[in-house]
């Protein structure tokens, strides 16, 4: 774990309550898609704990990466207002997604603010000839984000909304189920809320499936166990043992 000072290069509001920030450091470490950073929100007004935020894009050549997050409280509100200068952040934590050489077709399943880290998977493996089929679910059209970004790099992009205001109405896992025999993925990678993972697990697909868990975190390095999740081999820490797990291991 290495403490870096990150320079804010750009701050953009994607939709109401969702911020995208571009960060720079000349000495960025190696990065695995699906890892996260633990950003300091300052040490005032009780904001002592860092905020874990997933990585959307990572540009190793230019030493820049981007994060996307929802403003939920004082900490993320503070981060959403950053316009320039340096801030400390622990880069990069957790175990991410990795694809074996024999994987050629990948289904990506994202729900809400779980969508951004899936982009970094495409970014890493697209040059290897891997084809990506992307399925994104949102509560409504007003909550949909990053569709243009995913659309440009996916073989297929399907969207579902709970209220039917955009794309297909219903759960994105149902859309995936209808397409599964068409796209024939070698593996499924997913990130989103627990109900989406439950629906994905309920499909009982024989395809290897890996999910990136979301959890409240304290330290972010595995010392406090605040983010423990139940697995078939006992409790594991989302920050240090995950956030990526085989869906068969996790008790949802």
What span, in angstroms and rounded, lies between the C-alpha atoms of 71 and 10? 17
Burial of 73 (0-12, 13-18, 19+ CB in 10 A): exposed
Nearest in space to 143 (alpha carbons), one of 122, 185, 104, 172: 172
Q: Please tell me whether residues 131 and 70 are part of one structural domain.
A: no
Kindly state whether residues 247 and 230 are assigned to the same domain. Answer: yes
Q: Would you say residue 100 lies in a domain?
A: no
Does any domain span residue 99? no
The number of distinct structural domains making up the chain is 3
pLDDT in tens, 124-168: 999 999 999 999 999 999 999 999 999 999 999 999 999 999 999
For residue 58 the two structure tokens come to 């990572």
3-class DSSP state for residue 59? Answer: strand
- Domain stop point among 42, 60, 93: 93
Query: For the segment 55-69, what is each residue's pLDDT rounded down to a tens digit?
Result: 999 999 999 999 999
- Which residue's entry shows tokens 């025999």? 181
Question: Cα–Cα distance between 135 and 107 in angstroms, integer?
Answer: 7
What pLDDT sits at residue 180?
A: 97
For range 82-87, the mean pLDDT:
76
Decide the pairing of beta strands 51-59 and 64-70: antiparallel
Residues 252/173, Cβ–Cβ less than 8 Å? no
pLDDT score for 51: 78
d(CA 224, CA 222): 6
Question: How does residue 40 score in pLDDT terms, banded at 50, 70 and 90?
Answer: confident
Same domain, 84 and 110: no
Task: Read off the pLDDT of each residue in 205-223 and give the average, rounded to a whole number.
Answer: 81
Tell me what percent of the residues of the chain surpass a pLDDT of 70: 91
Report the alpha-carbon distance of residue 25 to residue 23 in Å, rounded: 7
Residues in the chain: 252
The backbone torsions φ and ψ at residue 126, rounded to the nearest 5 degrees and listed phi first, read: -60, -40
Residue 53 sits in a domain whose CATH number is 2.40.30.10
CA distances from 235 to 33, 74, 122, 240 (A): 24, 30, 30, 12
Range of the domain at 47: 2-93
* Whether residue 34 is found in the same domain as residue 131: no
- 112 and 206 in a common domain: yes
Are 208 and 221 part of one and the same domain? no
Whether residue 64 is contained in a domain is answered as yes
- Is the model's pTM score more than 0.75? yes
């Amino acid at each position: 774990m290495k403490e870096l000072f990150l320079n804010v290069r750009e701050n953009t509001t994607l939709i109401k309550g969702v911020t995208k920030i571009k960060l720079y450091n000349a000495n960025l470490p190696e990065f695995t898609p699906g890892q996260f950073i633990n950003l300091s929100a300052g040490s005032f007004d009780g904001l002592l704990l860092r905020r874990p935020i997933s990585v959307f894009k990572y540009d190793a050549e230019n030493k820049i990466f981007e994060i996307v997050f929802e403003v939920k409280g004082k900490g993320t509100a503070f981060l959403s207002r950053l316009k320039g200068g340096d801030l400390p952040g622990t880069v990069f934590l957790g175990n991410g997604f990795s694809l074996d050489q024999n994987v050629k077709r990948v289904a990506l399943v994202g729900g809400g603010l779980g969508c951004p880290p899936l982009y970094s998977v495409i970014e890493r493996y697209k040059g290897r000839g891997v084809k990506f089929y992307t399925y994104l679910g949102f509560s409504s059209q007003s909550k949909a984000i990053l569709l243009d970004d995913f659309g440009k790099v996916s073989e297929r992009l399907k969207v579902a909304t709970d209220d039917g205001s955009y794309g297909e109405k219903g759960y994105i896992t149902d859309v995936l189920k209808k397409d599964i025999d068409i796209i024939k993925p070698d593996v499924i990678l997913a990130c989103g809320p627990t109900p989406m993972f439950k629906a994905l697990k309920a499909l009982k697909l024989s395809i290897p499936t890996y999910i990136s868990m979301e959890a409240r975190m304290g330290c972010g390095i595995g010392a406090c166990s605040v983010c423990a999740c139940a697995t078939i081999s006992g409790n594991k820490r989302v920050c240090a043992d995950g956030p990526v797990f085989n869906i068969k291991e996790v008790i949802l």
